[in-house]
A and B are shown apart, each in its own frame.
Chain A
Amino acid sequence: MEAGALSNPVLRARRNLTDRIGDPLLRGLSGLAAALAVVVIAGIVYEVIHLAWPAIQEFGVGFVTTNDWNPVSKRFGAAPFLYGTVVTSFIAILFAAPLSIAISIYLTEMAPQRVRRPVATLIDMLAAIPTVILGLWGILVLGPFMKDTIEPVLQSVFGFLPIFSGDPSAFGYLTAATILTIMATPIITSVTREVFETVPGDLKEASYALGATRWEMVRQVVLPYSRSGIVGATILGLGRAIGEAIAVAQVIGGATLINASLFHTGGTLAAQIAAQFQNSAGLQKASLAYLGLILLIFAVIVNVVARLIVQRGKIKDIDVTETEAAAL
């Protein structure tokens, strides 16, 4: 607003009181709001560290590798939950990423025009389902299905692998990972879709002109162009999976040991906190806050890296609004 009416002293003198207050007021208020966001984030970090402090003092960094959670002997460690978080999230992404890429290819290249919007909307709806409902469905529908059908089949075919040993169980790593896959897929899909849509049309047409089939065009043009976007999208999905507390708490069984079998019950950082925080006191509560600190660091790093990758890639002008809207 350097140029314009305000540089005219006559007009400026005529600004009434409201305007004279209004400008700085708006600026001040909005600046305050922005400062508030910073204060909140700082507050969160401070509070978590503050609550975790007794455990940090007691266990130090060794907490991260201690494989024990014993309220009687007061020995606590993050290892069982780190293991659970890594295993469930890794499996979730392992399935969600290729699935999402395939869906995105379908939505941007393969599907007939009229079908694209409705199907895309339906898949975005999957992201909108509250996680407690997915957990409810997990307990009452998916869990029994895993136990009675999927896990026995896996065991009969791959039973020699330690990850498929042990008794089939409705609650455990595998059920949790499945739910996380369902949660991560729409997020990865919507970001990947946006990325695919920014691929310049002329590149695609050049490929067709050279005689490529649809798939070959995708493989030669769309995928390489979108590489960093896909990576970013996957990491965003990973961030979502890591932080999920409720649905996982409902189906993972709440065990505090590491177990090689995917059928076995286990725990993740977020789920353990959700399940135990209200119940615990003293060192145990501080240890849960310590788990929260680890989770926070993990989740923030993953989320930030994801956005940096998505933005830094060739996708400068991507309209992130709908992506956010869908991703959230």
Chain B
Amino acid sequence: MSANPHALLLDRGNLKRRNRFNRAVSVASTSAALLAVAVLLIVVGSVLLKGVGALSWHFLTTPSGLFGDTSGGIANAIVGSAIIVAIAAAMAIPVGILIAIYTTEFAPPAIAHPVRFVLDILNGVPTIITGIFVFGLLVEGNKQSGFAASVALAIVMLPIVARTAQEVLGLVPKTLKEASHALGIAPWRATVRITIPTAAGGLITGSLLAIARVAGETAPIILLSSIVGQGVLTDPSQALASIPYFIFTSSETPSAEAHTQAWAAALVLIAFVLVLNIVARAFYARSRKRMGG
């Protein structure tokens, strides 16, 4: 900065100019915020307006038609996505919370830091690479399956769940743990019956956000669960339909009806993701208040 750090503030009689500049910056930053909100509204608005036309009970409860047939719907995609995400969550959430327990309760800093580092790296792995990994692991030489897609999604969810769980478990007041020890409660019991329930709000938040994140993941699905049979399938050992893949393939066709179906499926997906996000944040805000954060 200049020799006198407060040179800017010396009274040089240019207050008006400074105020005007301040106003300009204020306008600019407000516009930036408005621009971002506008883009959000435009995107969500497009989905809403273009998709609502195809949205109907029939659309939601009928499986998609065969090639070129747009008379069907997304029932198989909804069920397939639900199953894939549910299995992924069942794998990732317990493991993520366990990792968080490990780093907050048991691990010496020499181990806790590398583990956090590893989670950081995992978080930064592009999902297409995760897809390649699970492809090599489960699909190559075998066949596609909803389960393989779940594994890939679980890997994507893991760092999200683990990190939020770490933060939240770390916020649980130490006095609670100390009190439980003083009362002779075994450490494991204290963790399971006291620490975790106290942190439950934050744990739920992390889990819901992770679910919202992977519900829309497409890249691994292309490699792992894209050749799907007809009708509403529920067996995860076979490839299952999914909403993101439906949107992806429908978006690349020339047919206007397929496009409308893509918008409608997008509407269902966005509604699900946004609702989860809002609920998760509400939980988070409440749990922060609770733990005096």
Which residue numbers of A lie inside 8 Å of B, CB to CB? 1, 3-6, 8, 11, 15, 18-19, 22-23, 25-27, 29-34, 36-38, 40-41, 43-44, 47-48, 50-51, 99, 102-103, 105-107, 110-111, 119, 121-126, 128-137, 139-141, 182, 185-186, 189, 210-216, 218, 220, 239, 242-246, 250, 270, 273-274, 277-278, 289, 292, 295-296, 299-300, 302-304, 307, 319-322, 324-325, 328
Contact = CB atoms under 8 A, between A and B. Distances in A.
Contacts of B105: 30
Interface string B253-281: 00000010011001001100110011011
Given A128-B213, A132-B216, 6 more contacts: A33-B102, A37-B118, A41-B121, A47-B132, A243-B128, A328-B210
A216 B280 contact: no
A74 B293 CA distance: 59
Contacts, number: 310
Contacts of A111: 30, 33
Interface in B206-247: 206, 209-210, 212-213, 215-219, 222-223, 226, 244, 247
A123 B43 CA distance: 12
B36 A189 contact: yes
B160 A25 contact: no
Contacts of B197: none
B69 interface: no
Contacts of A33: 95-96, 98-99, 102
Contacts of A27: 102, 106, 188
18 contacts: A1-B187, A4-B181, A34-B98, A34-B115, A40-B155, A99-B35, A106-B30, A119-B37, A131-B218, A133-B247, A182-B43, A213-B19, A214-B25, A277-B223, A302-B124, A303-B123, A303-B124, A320-B167
Interface in B85-142: 95-96, 98-99, 101-103, 105-107, 111, 115, 117-130, 132-133, 135-137
Interface string B155-189: 10011101110011000000000100111111111
B30 A110 contact: yes
A319 B167 contact: yes
A33 B263 CA distance: 39
A22 B188 contact: yes
Nearest to A245: B128
Overall SS of chain B's interface: helix
Given A22-B188, A102-B28, A304-B120, A133 B222 contact: no
Contacts of A125: 40, 274, 277
Nearest to B20: A213
B17 to A, nearest CB: 10
Overall SS of chain A's interface: helix
Given A48-B132, A48-B133, A105 B202 contact: no
A36 B95 contact: yes
Given A5-B183, A129-B270, A278-B223, A26 B191 contact: yes
B8 interface: yes
A129 B213 contact: no
A103 to B, nearest CB: 5
Contacts of A140: 46, 50, 251, 259
B66 interface: no
A130 to B, nearest CB: 2
A133 B244 CA distance: 8
Contacts of B71: none
A48 B222 CA distance: 17
B181 A216 contact: no
Which residue, of B32, B39, B115, B216, has the highest number of chain A Cβ atoms within 10 A?
B32
Contacts of B259: 140
A122 B251 CA distance: 26
Which residue, of A106, A218, A319, has the highest number of chain B Cβ atoms within 10 A?
A106
B226 A41 contact: no
B205 A295 contact: no
